[in-house]
Amino acid sequence: MRFDVITLFPELFAPFLTCGVTRRAYESGLVEVRLWNPRDFADGNYRRVDDRPFGGGPGMVMLAEPLTLCLESLRADRLACSVPSAPTVLFSPVGDVLNHAGVERWSASSSGAVLICGRYEGLDHRFIDTHVDLQISLGDFVLSGGEIAAMALLDAVARLQPGVLNDEGSHQMDSFNPALDGLLDCPHYTRPENWRGQPVPPVLMSGNHARIERWRREQRLALSQRQRPELVRAARRAGHLSKIDEAFLADLPKNPDLDA
């Protein structure tokens, strides 16, 4: 799949695309990323891409014309490379919040997307009305630009591609994954068995796999109930909670120790 990223700061992506386990997705071509700078399509000696907002107010607004010329150029390139057309995505506070289900949909898409990284006070809204198909948010906060949001989406999509992770099934145990009924994942431990007076929960050393799996299930339920109770409610509505799960949750206030 191919993602075209429109950004005023393409240099921010260089280390991101060459570091960490997800670099395998980019190096192998499973996820192709092309960077486009709207400044290359701006007029004048200064290649201006922004201007003051009509009506006054602080900050600057990105111009519609350089963005449009950049978008038209990348679309022509996709066509020349026989790459399917793709939705144009803007990272914006007004968009739907990205979640695991959304990431899975993007990871299964063969066409990828065009990702627009806004800056300053935002984009001329006429460009948004004309060209943007979808807006995505990472949450109720504001970043200085859309580049971090674009990297978050690319990273989440890349790690789900076959062969990217050392253990291809490891992402099945991620928080929010349907394999965990959408719950948060449980705590994890490694050597030494006793670290600065804190031992590993004894059940994990028991060798009893059934007990270990039940402990992990209860940890997921307890952590989700305390930190993200809406995830437990969603699992219940979907019929994913057993009678044993419900009995554990009912008794949870009496058993506050997650590591017991």
Residue 220 a catalytic site member: no
Q: Which of 27, 48, 72, 93 is catalytic?
A: 93
Strand arrangement, sheet containing 113-116: 32-36, 2-6, 113-116, 88-97, 134-137
Residue 251 a catalytic site member: no
CA distance 82 to 32: 14
Residue 168 a catalytic site member: no
Residue 162 a catalytic site member: no
Q: What is the pLDDT of residue 65?
A: 98
Q: What is the pLDDT of residue 166?
A: 65
Residue 56 DSSP code: -
Rounded to 10 degrees, what is the CA torsion of 47, 49, 52, 58?
-120
Which secondary structure element, helix H or strand E, spans residue 135, and what is its range? Answer: strand 134-137
The structure tokens listed for 167 are 């253990």
Q: Which of 32, 65, 77, 121 is catalytic?
A: 121
Domain with CATH 1.10.1270.20 in the chain: 175-254
Q: What is the pLDDT of residue 165?
A: 84
CA distance 216 to 21: 26
Which secondary structure element, helix H or strand E, spans residue 194, and what is its range? Answer: strand 194-195
pLDDT by residue for the chain (260 residues), tens only, comes to 999 999 999 999 999 999 999 999 999 999 999 999 999 999 988 999 999 999 999 999 999 999 999 999 999 999 999 999 999 999 999 999 999 999 999 999 889 999 999 999 999 999 999 999 999 999 999 999 999 999 999 999 999 998 898 655 556 678 899 989 999 999 999 999 999 999 999 999 999 999 999 999 999 999 999 999 999 999 999 999 999 999 999 999 866 555 54
Domain with CATH 3.40.1280.10 in the chain: 2-158
| 219 half-sphere exposure, CB direction, 13 A CA radius | 17
β-bridge pairing 2-6 and 32-36: parallel
Q: Which of 174, 214, 228, 236 is catalytic?
A: 174
Q: What is the biggest distance separating any 2 CA atoms in the chain, rounded to whole angstroms?
A: 71
Q: Is the pTM of this model over 0.85?
A: yes
Q: What is the pLDDT of residue 260?
A: 45
What is the CATH code of the structural domain delimited by 2-158?
A: 3.40.1280.10
Q: Which of 159, 216, 217, 220 is catalytic?
A: 159
Q: Tell which phi-psi region holds residue 76, choosing left (phi > 0), alpha (psi between -120 and 50) or beta.
A: alpha
Q: What is the pLDDT of residue 168?
A: 56
Q: Are 70 and 37 in contact (CB under 8 A)?
A: yes
Architecture of domain 175-254 in this structure: Orthogonal Bundle (1.10)
Q: What is the pLDDT of residue 253?
A: 82
Cβ-count burial 137-152 (b if 16+ within 10 Å, e if not): bbeeeeeebbbebbbe
The structure tokens listed for 77 are 């390139």
CA distance 64 to 87: 18
Omega within 30 of 0 (cis) for the link into 192: yes
Q: Are 110 and 1 in contact (CB under 8 A)?
A: yes
